Amino acid sequence: MKLVSNATLQIQKPINEVFEGIVDPAKLTQYFISESSGRLESGKDVIWKFPEFDDKYPIKNVNIEPNRSITFVWDPDTAVQIILEAQTDKSTIVKVTETEREFGVKNLEWVISNTGGWANFLACMKAYLEYGIQLRKGAFDFMKKD
Are 8 and 119 in contact by the 8 Å Cβ rule? The answer is: no
The Cα 22–Cα 125 span in angstroms is 8
Containing H/E element for 78? Answer: strand 78-86
Q: Which amino acid is at 67?
A: N
> What domains sit in the chain, N to C, each tagged with a CATH number?
2-143 (3.30.530.20)
What digits encode the pLDDT tens for the residues 8-40? 999 999 999 999 999 999 999 999 999 999 999
pTM score > 0.85 for this model? yes
Q: Which amino acid is at 57?
A: Y
Q: How do residues 49-92 score in pLDDT, each as one tens digit? A: 988 888 899 999 999 999 999 999 998 888 999 999 999 999 99
* Alpha carbons 25 and 92: distance in angstroms, whole number: 20
Cβ contact 120:137 at 8 Å: no
